Amino acid sequence: MGISMIKRYIFGNPIETDAVLSKPEVCAWSNDRLCFRENALECELEEDEIVYGLGQNVRGINKRGWIYESNCTDDPQHTESKHSLYGAHNFVLLDGEKKLGIFVDTPSKVVFDIGYTDYNRMRIALQTPDFELYLIEGESLGGIIKEFRRLIGRSYIPPRWAFGYGQSRWGYRSAEDIREVVKNYRDNQIPLDSVYLDIDYMERYKDFTVNEETFPDFEKFVAEMKGQGIHLVPIIDGGVKEEAGYDVYEEGREKGYFCKDEDGKDFVLGVWPGRCCLPDMLNEEAGRWFGRKYKILLDQGIDGFWNDMNEPAIFYSERGLAEVFEKIDQYRNRNLDINSFFAFRDLAEHISNNPKDYASFYHNYKGKRYCHEDVHNLFGYYMTRSAAEAFDELSPEKRILLFSRASYIGMHRYGGIWQGDNNSWWSHLLLNIRMMPSLNMCGFLYTGADIGGFGADATEDLLIRWLSFGVFTPLMRNHSALGTRLQEAYQFGNIDLMRDVIGVRYKLLPYLYSEFMKAALRDEMMFKPLGFVYGDDRIAKHVEDQLLLGDEIMIAPVYEQNAVGRTVYFPEPMKLIRFRGGEVQEEEVYTKGYSYVDMALGDVCVFLKENHILPLADGGQSIAEVDFDHLKLHFYGDHVRPYEYYTDDGEGRDYDPDRFIKMLEA
Ligand code: MIG
C-alpha cells in the first residue's frame, strides 16, 4: 500500500468535535499545495485530477465540477441542483500526480467548490476561522483512506441478522398490518429478517412510547415476530413531544436537558407531534439520559433502532410561525404580481429548516454554551452516540442494530446511516451506487438506500433492478413513504423474480459479511471505485457505475429503465457469475476492455477476478437458515489464492480476526 503520512494543523480556537480519536502532534502551517486565505483553503486541480470524497452528497463518485455544502439538511428532493444531504462528511481525496487526503474538522457549515467556479480550482470555504485540518499524503488512495480511518476510529459493526433483507413502510399502522406483511413474505417464500416500525407505532409520535391500541401487548408481539425469525426495528425521532404528563418530556424539562432559546427557555419547534423540545444531545448528561431511554424498548425485546429527524429537522418554530402569520396578512387584497406572488407562495415553504431558527437556540457542550448554528452538524452524531453508549452499558455482550439519518465524521463508530428520503427514480438507483464508496471512505460501512425509492411511485422493474443492486449493500431495506404505491416485494405481478433476486442475498451473505467485517476491522473500504485498484488504467479511473466489492469481485448494476443488459468495462479478465431463477451459473470469461453483457430483469451478475474465490451459501428464508460453514467455492485460474473468510456468531462483540478468519482453499 505504500507509506502515508498524516499532519495536523490548528487554525484559531476550534470547537472539539470528537471526530478524531488519537490526535497527532500539531504542525506549524505551511503547505506547497494548499493556500489558506479569507477563511478558505484553495488549490489548483490538475487537468485530469479526480476529487473523491464528501461521503453522503449529490452527484458522482468524482466530485469535480459542482459546489457542495456540509450542512446536515432534511431535504427529500435529492436532485443534482442540491448541495447537501443529511450528512456532513468533510473529507476529500485528491487523485492527481500526488495524492492528498484533506479532512476539515469543524462542526459548522463548510462549502466545497470543487471546480464549480473554475474547473481547475478547488476552494474549501469555512463558516468559522476556527478549525482543525488533517492532511494525509500517501502513495496509494487505499493507503490514505486507511490512515484517515485509523485517525477517526473503527467503524460500527451491526449484528449479523441486520444483513438480512428488511421491509419497511411509513404507514404500517398496527400489529395486524405487520403480521400481514410477514405472512405475505413467508407465504410467498420470499426471505425476510426484519420489519421496520415507522412513527405509526408510537402513541401520538412520542419517542419511547407504543400505541397500546394498535400495538397491544408489545412485548408479546415482539416475541411472536422473533418466533417467525423477524426482528422489529422501531424509529426514534430527534424531537420530544411537549405534553404534560409525558414522562420523557417532563423529566427533560425538569432536569434542564432541552436546548434553550436566547432567554434560557426551552426552545420549541414543530415536528410530527406538533410542538416539541430538542434534547441537548451534545450535552453529556442530557445525552446519557436520552440514551438510557432506549432501554424502554430494549426491555421489550427490541434489538435495533433507526434514528430519524436528527439534522435536526424543524418543520416550524414559534418565531417562524408568527413571522409568516404577520407577513401573510400584508398580501391580503393585493394584486399579486410576479414579484409578490412568489414571495407569498414561498412564505410558508421557507418556514421549514430555516437558518434563522438554527441560529436561535443553544447547546451546553463540553461545559460551554454554543449557538446551534455553530455546532449544527453534530446533532445527529451525538444523538446516535448517546444511544450507542447506552447500548454499551445495557447490552455489553450483544450487538444492537443502530443507524441514523444525520451524521458527521466520527459517528461511523456508533452506528450506520441510511441514505434518506430518495425517490422511486432510476437516477436515485444510480445515486445509491455512487454513494457507497464515498461513504465507505468516511467510515460509514453499514449503509444502504431505501430500495425501490421512498417518495413517488415505484414500478415492478425499478424495484427488481434496485433489489438486484441492493443485494450487495450491507443495509438492504425496502422502504417507502405514506401515500405512495405499495412496494413490498409481493405487491407486483412477478413474485418469482422478486423471490429469486432477494434469494441471491442469502447466497452471498457469507461473502458480504466476511468482506464487511474485514473492511471494519482493517479500516478499509468494502466498496471501491475502480480507480482505487486500477489507478494506472485511465479508462478504469473514470468509471462511475461499476464498483469493486471486496477483493474478489466487481459489480456493474443495471440502472436504466427497459435496459436488457449494459456495457461493462473490464480492467482485467473476469468471469461472469450469473444468478438466475434461483440457480448460479458460471459463464464466460471476459477479457480486458469493454463488453456488452446481457442482463435480463431478475438477473444478478457478479464478475469474479482470475485466481480469486467467491464463496456462496445455499440460501435460506432468513439469516438463521443460512449455513455459513458449508460453502460452495467459485473460482477460476491456475494459481487460485486462498480466501480469507471471516465468520463469527454474528452477535458477540469480541471481534478477533485471528480467531475468526479461516482460509478457504480452492
Ligand atoms: O419527514 O417517519 O427519512 O424514512 O419514513 C418524514 C416518517 C419523516 C423521514 C424519514 C423516513 C420516514 C419518515 N420520516
DSSP string, 412-445: GGT-EEE--S-BS-HHHHHHHHHHHHHHHHTT--
Contacts (Cβ under 8 Å, ≥6 apart) of 224: none
Dig out the grid coordinates for 50 from the structure: 479526480
| Single-letter amino acid code for the residue at 93 | L
CA distance between the termini of the chain = 26
**Ligand 1 pocket: which of 73, 74, 198, 451 to mutate (most atoms <8 Å of CB)?**
198
Most informative mutation of 75, 235, 475 for ligand 1 (most atoms within 8 A of CB): 235
Chunked into runs of 10 residues, the chain (666 residues) has average pLDDT values of: 85 98 95 96 98 98 98 97 98 97 98 98 98 97 98 98 98 98 98 98 98 98 98 98 98 98 96 95 98 98 98 95 92 91 90 96 98 98 98 98 98 98 98 98 98 98 98 99 98 97 98 98 98 98 98 98 98 98 98 98 98 98 98 98 97 91 95
Domain boundaries, the chain: 4-152, 160-245+279-316+376-507, 511-664
Pairing outcome for strands 165-167 and 476-478: parallel
> In whole angstroms, what is the distance from residue 651 CA to residue 161 CA?
8
Compute the C-alpha angle 515/399/197, nearest 5°. 100
Residues within 6 Å of ligand 1 by CB:
170, 198-199, 235, 308, 405, 420-421, 479
- Residues 491 and 598 sit within 8 Å (Cβ to Cβ): no
Task: Tally Cβ neighbours within 10 Å of residue 3.
Answer: 10
User: Rounded to whole angstroms, how far apart are CA atoms 280 and 290?
Assistant: 9
The CATH number of domain 511-664, selected from 2.60.40.4040, 3.10.560.10, 1.10.10.10, 1.10.3720.10: 2.60.40.4040
Upper half-sphere CA count for residue 38 (Cβ side, 13 Å): 2
Look at the alpha carbons of 471, 473, 479, 481 in this order and tell me if their dihedral is positive or negative. negative
Protein residue whose Cα sits closest to atom 6 of ligand 1: 309
Q: What's this model's pTM, rounded to 2 decimal places?
A: 0.98
CB 441 within 8 A of CB 55: yes
Asked if 404 and 415 count as a contact pair (C-beta separation under 8 A), the reply is yes
pLDDT at 657: 83
Q: Which of 421, 422, 428 to mutate to test the pocket of ligand 1 (most atoms within 8 A of CB)?
A: 421
| Residue 665 DSSP label | P
Instruction: Provide CB contacts within 8 A for 179, sequence distance 6+.
Output: none
Task: State which amino acid sits at residue 219.
Answer: E
Please report the atom of ligand 1 found closest to the CA of residue 198: 2
Ligand 1 mean position, distance from CA 308 (Å): 7
**How close is the Cα of 421 to the center of ligand 1, in Å?**
7
- Domain 160-245+279-316+376-507 fold is TIM Barrel (3.20.20)
Task: Report the distance separating Cα 256 and Cα 253, nearest Å.
Answer: 5
Same CATH topology for 4-152 and 511-664: the answer is yes
SS3 letters for 294-343? CHHHHCCCCCEEEEECCCCCCCEEHHHHHHHHHHHHCCCCCCCCHHHHHH
Residue 481 Cα to ligand 1 midpoint, Å, equals 7
The region, left, alpha or beta by phi > 0 then psi within -120 to 50, assigned to residue 468 is alpha
Count of beta carbons in the 10 Å neighbourhood of residue 333: 6
Task: Report how far ligand 1's centroid is from the alpha carbon of 480 (Å).
Answer: 9
* CATH architecture designation of domain 4-152: Sandwich (2.60)
